[in-house]
Structure 1
Amino acid sequence: MRFRFVALAALLAANGPALLPSLTPTLARAQQKQALTLEDIWTRPTFRAASVPGFNWMNDGRYYSALENGTLVQHEVTTGKTLQTLVSATELQLPGEAKPLAVDGYSFNADEQKILFTTGTEPIYRRSARASYYVFDRGNRKLTPLSAGGKQGYATFSPDGRYVAFTRDNNVFVTDLATMQEKAVTTTGVPNKLINGSADWVYEEEFSFAQGFCWSPDSRQIAFYTFDESQVPEYDMQEWGGLYPKEYRFKYPKAGEKNSVVSVSSYEVASGKTVKMDVGPNPDQYLPRLMWTQAPNTLSIQRLNRLQNKLEILHGDATTGKTQVVLTDASPAYVDISDDLRYLPGGKQFLFTSEKDGYQHLYLHDMSGKPVRQLTKGSWEITAVNGFDPKTGFVYYTSAEASPLQRHLYRVNVSGHGKQRLSEAGPGTDVVNMSPDTQYFLNTHSAAGLPAVVSLREGSTGKLVKTLEDNSKLRETLAQYDLGKLEFISFKTSDGTQLNASMLKPSNFDPAKKYPVLMYVYGGPGSQTVADNTGGGISATNYLWHQLLVQKGYIVVSVDNRGTGARGRNFRQTTYANLGRLETIDQGEGAKYLATLPYVDKSRIGIWGWSFGGYMTALAMTKNADLFKMGISVAPVTNWRYYDTVYTERYLKTPQENPGGYDDNSPVQFAQNLRGKFLLVHGTGDDNVHFQNSIAFVDAMIKANKDYQTLYYPNRNHGIRGGNTSLHLYRQMTNFVLQNL
């Protein structure tokens, strides 16, 4: 949903100093470079970055596996050498079938002698899917379907490798691999009523998980969620194409409405006994994380109140269901959920991140929840916990310590000493995949305008072992195109707030000319569209589209307003309970700042965005109508009353408690102020930000007698993709910019 771009200046030999109007040799070289086309970006693999597909660490951190042309192979980390073929493509061919399985995923059991292969995956929502799973036994080289009862979800080996648990039809099942006998863990699942072992829509979307069960470390128990969504209102979405449209109905709790009542249970595999965990008497709450600790029979359940300003960690006895609160993390506004909770080997301590001192930092606690020590401190944020080495006591984490625009890998000892940066010196962004034993890590490094470099590195030093992919072919391709230069800048608003921004200029930028400017906005809580990575904070395709517009004589700018991420709790939470007000002011301040620059045509400033950015665009075009000549709003929320409980109430409270927070910054309330040219885009099959939002805004514009253009995509979801959809959409948006800015 977020989009950002950067200049590929480092790739372009022709990009030198600012060019003069006369035909210099530099300009002549630039003129020989190719111009981008929409087809290059969306229908051809011209700019497709290479990666390391199917990469998985093996138990011994000296090896990793990868899928290569349908074959699963093992590599040695230190040399990258292929050591052996683990499973050949021919071994993945079922009797009577003409071709091997088209594998789209795999996972090992604990001793790596059995492998689950996935094929025919069918996406459901953002993270959920169903697929056909097959078990491959490396001992007898036999391939066996996991189940004959229909496609499964989230099939997972037990730690001892004897069983596989999975979901189907809102229930949980377990298969004994010795006999391939399947047993139902639950039988109560009913569509649109009760879900076992999988997340409901709002948990999947806002708490970022779909699998709702997990094995105990000793393989004796399965903990699982149950979602009773019988009281959650249904959303009715039309599916177009047949003689009569079909109804697609699903449970979607809008702000202020009823949520699922969520419970947690533990199932003992040997006895078939199920124990319900005590999660408290209040059914109107969230249980956003569930995991086993390293202590025997002890479950960890995170509990969050409906307003999401009080997070509690519960430890529960899975054999009795009894629980106790061991840690509470509270905030005057809201507490964000992360995956940073780590239980350390030995079952005596755990790591947890909190922003109680104003920034997200790492803390060590004993199992009673008592704090042992704060491990990191400073006016910067940890963004991920990557691993822990029990032998040395080092915790590995990614942070924005160098700059809010960057991410790098560090480590610190649980003693609180020995903090060390492991990423190479210099700017950019590192995305880390650490081996289970922390001896090595896969590092994907990118910087503004540069394709990613994927390398293997030593865990203790960060030293390069081997470069796996440097994207040299893509670099050569990009060097053939006339691409502009992106600069990171900052400016102060009229109230003294410092904001980060990026500016993408044409390669032949002339400071004596006046350029139209298109601003790109997302602006939602905790987000960033100004970052030192390949796209400068946005997707590579949107970056290239911005480059295409730059080639046509535009400057593209993005501003991270108040409420965005990596600058601490106060900067992010200042928008609490009044979502949209300060963000719109800051985007307006950005337009005013640009208008003061001598090379900007202040009468030709436009704005565009998608999702939260579409909301921001609609709000900017109405509340800041005198600043923007043109706007494109894609898949926008136009009234927060139409959006889901978890996201909306986290930042606005409920509409019953805070009606002004919902209405005072709804574009629907300000449609009468619209002055510029406005394009509204939405997919009718958007299960996330419902088409209802655009209908409401269109109705308001009609009542206000305002001119607008609309572009609707039948049955497309929030991403508005599929077939020629992206090409068509961006052609329309390009034409709209060219005609109106």
Structure 2
Amino acid sequence: MKMPLLYFVFFLFGCSILTAQEGNSSPLTIEQIMQGNDFVGHLPSNIHWSSDGNTIYFDWNPDAVYSDSLYAYSLSSEKIAKVDFDTEYDLPAPRGTFNVERTRKIYSKNGDIFIKDAATNAITPITRTTAREGIPHFTGNETQVAYLKDDDIYVWEITSGTTTQMTHFTDKKDEPEKKSDKDEWLYQDQLALFDVLRERKEKSDRHDTLSKRNELKRPLAIYKYGKSIENQRISPDGHYVTYLSVEKPEDKGTIMPHYVTESGYTEDEDTRSKVGNEPDTYQMFIYDIADRTIDSVDLSNLTGLDYVPEYTKDYPDKPYENEDRIGRISPPVWSDDGKNAIVEIVSNDYKDRWIVLLNLKDASVTNLDHQRDEAWIGGPGISSWGGSDLGWMPDNKHIWFQSEKTGYSHLYTLNLDTKKTKALTSGDFEIYDPRISNDKKRWYFTANQNHPGDRQFYSMPINGGKLTPLTDKTGKNEVTLSPDEKNMAILFSYSNRPTELFVKKNPVFSKKAGTAKQITESTSGAFEKYDWRDPEIITFKANDGAEVHARMYRPDADVKNKAAVIFVHGAGYLQNAHRWWSSYFREYMFHNLLVDNGYTVLDIDYRGSAGYGRDWRTGIYRHMGGKDLSDQVDGAEFLVSEHGIDKDKIGIYGGSYGGFITLMGMFNAPETFSAGAAIRSVGDWAAYNHGYTARILNTPVSDSVAYRKSSPIYFADGLEGDLLILHGMIDDNVHFQDMVRLSQRLIELGKHNWEMAVYPVERHGFVEPSSWTDEYTRIFNLFQESLLGKVSEN
């Protein structure tokens, strides 16, 4: 790098930006491609159908105005029109709940509750208030609609239109304060001594008795004891209410200063706490409305509740402390006949998941399925937060759910009587977003059966069998079925073709479904002028024998400079070596610019990435910066041995998790990477949030070794190449403090071959094109200078 000094580059509005790239031989410029959607085009999103299935609604912005608007495509006229505000406001919400016969749909929109008649399309508002009502669900054997307002459940009678409050959660405790023994003696002595006091008490008691008689006609007051109330639901027959009482310990947050403000003063923002929080305590209750009794659900019989995690064996002198492993508990999922309910429970260390049958009458549960992962529960359709994809089969005797039992997330059913499971799908691929058809005869879901980087939409018989593809264009097919399921609205994209809206007849109902018809044209003229590359999807062998998927961009032979850049996607559990338009589309365009300049670019789905099953997903457990980093190093060696790359001309860059890997690469593999650009990076996992980090590394107190192995700040002494750090100062995800601490560490180590650019008005995801431009100009200049020796004048 040109200046072996530490400096902070503050980018403020009104200052000039670095737009010139003297060595750039691409027809693309960084300033151009960093305009984002204003350059690419504003793409359609958020698809939903009209109730009659004749219109597709979607968000779009073809005129590149301030924000997206709602548009409608008519199947009959084949025309697109912008929807006016009043029409949009009165449209039903795309999501809602149908009754069993699908004759009525209830939904919430703009804070109110509505019911829609499927036959007449008539919409009746259930509420019209300034309060926010939500989570509508049928009850009273589908003669009533229940919904939540604040903490309480209200029920609306469909026939009469009467609304009744069913619960009364309160912070006000009606019980009299208990007297001390001394005060109780004085109280009783006073009553014994004075007739007037005794007579007044008798009158007061009679009044209280009459008042209590009136109170019996009202909902039982349920004291919250300072805890939060969550997941309140009323049973289909209207007899019971289930709810969670959650005690949330107060965890110290992080103060984040804003330096560039409208007021001109520094303003502080309170943000998240750091990993290692005390776990929330969850307790499920059942309220019998008629009997006015409350029972706590007994979860003591959950299988494996006393499980001690395997990693604790590394700490034989440290006792494992987790007295109550119960974590998030989902609301009951009821069978269509309203007779049974299942509940999903996850442990607070994220390593166990239970699906249980809830027994309302005795507040007990019956174990149905228990999944345990030494690392952490997860995968498509399986949430370690709770709320996974699961439900009831049409016979009301089996449940369905997803499991990584075979190493990939697949569909299973379980018989309530025999407790036996059956796999409906199998193979080295994963199932996404399953749902049962209206007629209960088949499944619909997305799967990557053909290739990890190709997602198609399928149907399958309800009890398993052949997967029938309903889409056929290689890439990503996000399908939204029409209400009658006879048509498919498809958001389709390919590697070098951004997302567009297509429509196609459902082959299940039409033997002449034909090919999908494109509805939108969203890309800009400027975008279309460039011949965007279709990156190769390749595999290379890692040092442990694993086959690693990657995107590869190769320059033409006449411009190849024998330098390479490895891009590391963020999020950890995310996929980017695929055949659809990337969420990293700015980086995709930047890679095209790099290739025009002679660079070879490799974009790796390293260990921890999505799309490849459980073992790949958890390959980073207890050691982030282990196999996920060695996959980058092995990719670099692959470029050297197979593609003529100079081993001294390899750079690496990425944002968030990709920035973290960049730091680990620069510190722990200096012989591999000569330059690195670390964007919005984690420097110390002990400073990141609990929900993400504790899954992978446990907690700093319980598993300190994992944090020491995984945090770049402990390896900063290994820096040899040129490092560029870039970070938003109001990043409320990865705090700017993390990089400030790392900079102090580098200063104390006497390192001079690094620079930091900071962005005072940017959070984790940049929004200003000028910030994006400044950032990627610096990254381009870093690679030009450090890998090729081309010194920029900027």
- Output the TM-score relative to the length of structure 2: 0.72
1:590 and 1:465 map into 2 onto residues whose CA distance is 41
User: Which structure has the larger Rg over C-alpha atoms?
Assistant: 2
Tell whether the 8 Å contact from 1:239 to 1:247 is kept in structure 2 after alignment.
yes
Alignment match, 1:382 = 430
Pick from 471, 493, 500: which aligns with 1:423?
471
Count of equivalent residues: 660
**CA, structure 1 residues 472+245, in 2 after alignment: closer, same or farther (shift >3 Å)?**
closer
Corresponding residue for residue 448 of structure 1: 495
Match of 2:129 among 131, 139, 147: 147
User: Would you say the 8 A contact 1:386–1:434 is kept in 2?
Assistant: no
Deviation, 1:188, is 4.7
Counterpart in 2 of 1:342?
391
Question: Structure 1 counterpart of 2:492, which letter?
Answer: H
What residue is the counterpart of 2:185 in the other structure?
none
CA distance in 2, matches of 1:216, 1:575: 42
Q: 1:248 aligns with which of 255, 262, 269?
A: 269
Q: In 1, are the aligned partners of 2:49 and 2:483 still within 8 Å (CA)? A: no
Following superposition, the deviation at residue 670 of structure 1 comes to 0.8
TM-score under structure 1 normalisation?
0.76
Aligned-residue offset at 1:43: 6.2
Q: How does 1:239-638 map to 2 (within 5 A)?
A: 239-240=258-259, 241=261, 242=263, 245-249=266-270, 252=273, 254-265=274-285, 277-280=297-300, 283-287=324-328, 289-294=330-335, 296=338, 298-318=340-360, 321-336=363-378, 337-338=382-383, 339-368=388-417, 370-378=419-427, 380-389=428-437, 391=439, 393-424=441-472, 427-435=474-482, 438-453=485-500, 454-458=502-506, 460=508, 464=513, 467=516, 469-472=518-521, 474=523, 478-506=527-555, 509-510=556-557, 513-522=560-569, 526-535=573-582, 538-638=583-683
- Relative distance call for 1:699 and 1:63 in structure 2 (3 A) is same
The one of 254, 268, 271 equivalent to 1:235 is 254
Q: 1-side partners of 2:513 and 2:372: how far apart?
A: 41
Per-residue deviation, 1:719: 1.6
SS at structure 1 position matched to 2:451: coil
CA contact (8 A) 1:595 1:601 kept: yes
* 1:47 equivalent in alignment to 2:40: yes
Mapped to 2, the partners of 1:400 and 1:532 lie a distance apart of: 11
What's the CA shift string for 1:700-731, capped at 9, x where partnerless? 21221113222333364322335754444444
2:755 aligned with 1:713, yes or no?
no
Q: Alpha-carbon deviations, 1:415-445, whole Å to 9, x = none?
A: 3333323222x63222233456654433223
Aligned to 2:728: 683
- The code of the aligned residue for 1:47 comes to V
Per-residue CA distance 1:520-541 (angstroms, 9 max, x = gap): 1137654322111123xx4323
Give, in angstroms, the shift of residue 674 of structure 1.
Answer: 0.8
Alignment of 1:165-244 (within 5 A): 165-166=147-148, 171=151, 174=154, 178=161, 186-188=169-171, 194-197=227-230, 212=231, 224-240=243-259, 241=261, 242=263
Give secondary structure in 2 for the equivalent of 1:55.
strand
Change (3 A) 1:649 1:548: same
1:602 is paired with a residue whose SS is: coil
1:674 partnered with 2:722: no
User: Do the aligned partners of residues 479 and 245 (structure 1) sit closer, same or farther apart at CA in structure 2, a change above 3 Å counting?
Assistant: closer
Instruction: Measure, in 2, the Cα distance between the counterparts of 1:735 and 1:381.
Output: 41
- The one-character-per-residue Cα deviations of 1:7-62 (angstroms, maximum 9, x if unpaired) are xxxxxxxxxxxxxxxxxxxxxxxx9x95345245426623124326552463x667
Counterparts of 1:352 and 1:41 in 2: how far apart (Å)? 42
Q: How far off is 1:174 after superposition?
A: 4.5
Distance in 2 (CA, whole Å) between partners of 1:236 and 1:103 is: 42
Which consecutive residues of structure 1, in runs of 5 or more, have no partner in the other structure? Answer: 1-30, 93-100, 119-131, 198-211
Q: Residue type of the partner of 1:261?
A: T
Higher alpha-carbon deviation: 214-223 or 604-613: 214-223
Letter matched to residue 455 of structure 2: R
| Structure 1 residue 558: Cα displacement | 0.8
Instruction: Give 1:330 deviation, angstroms.
Output: 2.1
Task: Write the distance in 2 (CA, Å) between the matches of 1:716 and 1:267.
Answer: 48
Between the aligned partners of 1:115 and 1:356, the Cα distance in structure 2 is: 35
For residues 259-309 of structure 1, the C-alpha deviation after alignment (integer angstroms, 9 at most, x for no partner) is 222334567899998765444595443226434221526443222223333
Counterpart secondary structure, 2:630: helix
* Letter of the structure 2 residue corresponding to residue 694 of structure 1: M
- Looking at structure 2, the residues matched to 135 and 404 of structure 1 have their Cα atoms a distance apart, in angstroms, of 41
- Report the Cα distance in structure 1 between the residues aligned to 2:784 and 2:508, rounded to whole angstroms: 52
Deviation sequence 1:620-676 (CA, Å, 0-9, x none): 110011211221212222222223333323222333443222102321111011122
640-649 or 264-273: bigger deviation: 264-273
Q: CA deviation at 1:217?
A: 5.2
Q: Could you tell me whether the CA contact under 8 Å between 1:288 and 1:304 is conserved in 2?
A: yes
For 1:319 and 1:688, the matched residues in 2 are separated by 44
Q: 1:290 and 1:51 mapped to 2: Cα distance?
A: 33
> What's the offset of the Cα at 1:542?
2.6
Residues 291/136 of structure 1: CA separation in 2 closer, same or farther (3 Å cut): closer
SS at match of 2:129: coil
- 1:658 matched to which residue of 2? 703
Shift of 1:360: 2.1
Whole-angstrom distance in 2 between the partners of 1:552 and 1:219: 68
Question: Contact 1:451–1:475 (CA<8 Å) still a contact in 2?
Answer: no
1:617 deviates by 0.8
- 1:45 counterpart letter in structure 2: D
CA distance change for structure 1 residues 133 and 268 in 2, over 3 Å: closer, same or farther?
farther
What is the distance in 2 between the residues matched to 1:580 and 1:442? 41
SS in 2 for 1:562: coil
Change (3 A) 1:300 1:184: same
Alignment counterpart, residue 648 of structure 1, candidates 670, 684, 693: 693
Which shows bigger deviation, 540-549 or 264-273? 264-273
CA RMSD across the alignment: 4.3
Distance in 1 (alpha carbons) for counterparts of 2:418 and 2:646: 58
How far is the alpha carbon of 1:318 from its aligned partner? 4.7
Q: Is the 8 A contact 2:33 2:586 kept in 1?
A: no
Secondary structure of 2:588's counterpart equals: helix
Per the alignment, in what secondary structure is the counterpart of residue 418 of structure 1? coil
Q: 1:75 to 1:420 in 2, by over 3 A?
A: same
Counterpart CA distance in 1 for 2:228 and 2:598 is 53
Structure 2, unmatched stretches of 5+, are 1-24, 62-67, 173-222, 306-322, 788-794
Evaluate the alpha carbon distance shift between residue 259 and residue 108 of structure 1 in structure 2; reply closer, same or farther with a 3 A threshold. closer
3-state secondary structure, aligned to 1:237: strand
Judge conservation of contact 2:56–2:73 (CA < 8 Å) in 1.
yes
Alignment check: 8 A CA contact 2:240 2:287 kept: yes
Q: CA deviation at 1:562?
A: 2.7
What letter corresponds to residue 653 of structure 1 in structure 2? N
Aligned match for 1:701, one of 728, 746, 754: 746
